[in-house]
Amino acid sequence: MFHIYCPYCEELREEEEFHPKGEAHIARPEEPEACSDEEWGDYLFFRDNPRGIHHEMWLHAVGCRKFFNITRNTVSYEILETYKMGEQPTVGAEHLAREEKTASVQAAEGGQQTVGASDAALASVKGAQA
């Protein structure tokens, strides 16, 4: 049992009231007819499954019934931010890398999962810079 901040209700609400709805920020192809089968299949069915930072949609199902976004760490389950539909996240993979550098001592003791997440996050930062 934990609390999630709904950006529309503007308060923390019980997790039971919410439903996860999958990866966020997937843009619908502007011209579906012009897509190849592979592009359309990617859009419809294929989702990232990152270890670390993930931006995903949630629904405040028993509440305001609005969709909104959550930035979540898939390793620790920590929710880093919630924001409305149409808005952009302020927390990305570099956040995780930074945070774990400062907590490197703990990360080293904390077992493989945390260290792995840090590596993945750093790799994706490099990817973004390239």
Partner 1 sequence: MSNSVHVYDARADHATVTAESPLAYSFQRSGMPASGEASGEASGEKSRAVIGERAFLGHLILRGGAIVLDEALREVLGVGLPGRPNSLTVDADGQRSVQWLSPDEWLLIVPGDETFGLETRLRAHLGGAHVAIVDVSAGQTLIELSGEAAHEVLMKSTVYDVDPHAFTVGKGVTTLFAKTNVILRRPDASRWELIVRRSFADYVYRWLLDAGEEYGIGVARESRHEPQ
Which residues are near Zn ion by CB under 5 A? 6, 8-9, 60, 63-64
**Rounded CA separation 42/26 (Å):** 10
Q: Which is nearer to partner 1, 28 or 65 (CB)?
A: 65
Q: CB 14 → partner 1: shortest distance, Å?
A: 4
The H or E element that residue 41 is part of is helix 37-45
Amino acid found at 57: M
Q: CB 13 → partner 1: shortest distance, Å?
A: 7
Q: Which of 21, 75, 83 is nearest to 51 (CA)?
A: 75
Give yes or no for residue 39 binding partner 1 (CB under 8 A): no
Give yes or no for residue 57 binding partner 1 (CB under 8 A): no
Give yes or no for residue 65 binding partner 1 (CB under 8 A): yes
**Site size with partner 1, rule: CB under 8 A:** 13
**Which one among 19, 20, 47, 62 touches partner 1, defined by CB under 8 A?**
62
**Which entry of Zn ion, partner 1, none binds 28, CB below 5 to 8 A by partner kind?**
none
What DSSP string runs through 58-120?
EE-TTTT--EEEEEEETTT--EEEEEETT---S--HHHHHHHHHHTHHHHHHS-HHHHHHHHH
Distance of CA 104 to the CA centre of its chain: 23
β-pairing, 67-73 vs 53-59, is antiparallel
Give yes or no for residue 14 binding partner 1 (CB under 8 A): yes
**Sites of contact with partner 1 (CB under 8 A):** 8-11, 13-14, 16-17, 62-66
